[in-house]
Amino acid sequence: GVSRQEVGERIAFIMSGGTEGVMAPHCTIFTVQKTDNKQKTAAEGKRLAVQQIFTREFLPEEIGRMPQVTETADAVRRAMREAGIADASDVHFVQVKCPLLTAGRMHDAVERGHTVATEDTYESMGYSRGASALGIALALGEVEKANLSDEVITADYSLYSSVASTSAGIELMNNEIIVMGNSRAWGGDL
């Protein structure tokens, strides 16, 4: 009963055509159901919590650079708050679908007097995925902000997140993020 645009604004569609690992086409769908009758109570321990969140749209000159890192970190922190995940150590997986640069997007940035992280569209996927992963690492305390800069993205492999999974695509200009962890605020048997 909602428009396609509303669906796109409410649901994270994180799809990858890449062949990381084993090529096995599949679809995994996470849904959340609010209920007054929790199957398990907070007193019985933490339960699986899943929260999606979107960043604002990025300008082409921000993709693969620190604005994408900091916006991603802010969004992950907001998702944790909304999911009731109290501690970064309770976050176990963060999936991000992020944008990449196209010739048109690069041209737009240059026309407005800006540079982009790379002029190679394929390489831009790595920059965007790297900036997104570092944003997750920053949000979870896996890296310090003082150690981050545009220059370390895709260059310093000592900076990383142990829970990030990122995929870049042409179909969006923002980051679509799904945070999975444990929270006492959630019910269920997981």
Reduced to 3 states (helix: H, G, I; strand: E, B; else coil), residue 103 is: helix
Nearest C-alpha neighbor of 78 from the set 46, 61, 57, 53: 53
Domain count of the fold of the chain: 1
Q: Residues 119-131: pLDDT tens digits? A: 999 999 999 999 9
Asked if residue 25 is part of any domain, the answer here is no
Whether pLDDT at 39 is above 60 = no
Question: What's this model's pTM, rounded to 2 decimal places?
Answer: 0.88
Asked if residue 116 is part of any domain, the answer here is yes
Domain extent, residue 87, equals 59-183
Strand-pairing partners, residue 99, are: 169
Per-residue exposure over 58-81, b if at least 16 CB sit within 10 Å of its own CB, e if not: bbbbbbbbbbbbbbbbbbbbbbbe
- Residue 95 CA to residue 93 CA, distance in Å, equals 7
Strand-pairing partners, residue 178, are: 52, 95
Question: For residue 69, what is the domain's CATH number?
Answer: 3.30.1330.180
Long-range contacts of 22-26 (CB under 8 A, 24+ apart): none
Asked if residue 178 is part of any domain, the answer here is yes
Whether pLDDT at 40 is above 70 = no
Asked if residue 1 is part of any domain, the answer here is no
147: Cβ contacts below 8 Å, ≥ 6 apart: 159
Asked if residue 190 is part of any domain, the answer here is no
**27, 30, 41, 180 from 47: Cα distances, Å:** 23, 15, 9, 10
Q: Residues 105-150: pLDDT tens digits? A: 999 999 999 999 999 999 999 999 999 999 999 999 999 999 999 9
Asked if residue 41 is part of any domain, the answer here is no
Asked if residue 68 is part of any domain, the answer here is yes
Catalytic residue numbers read 97, 167
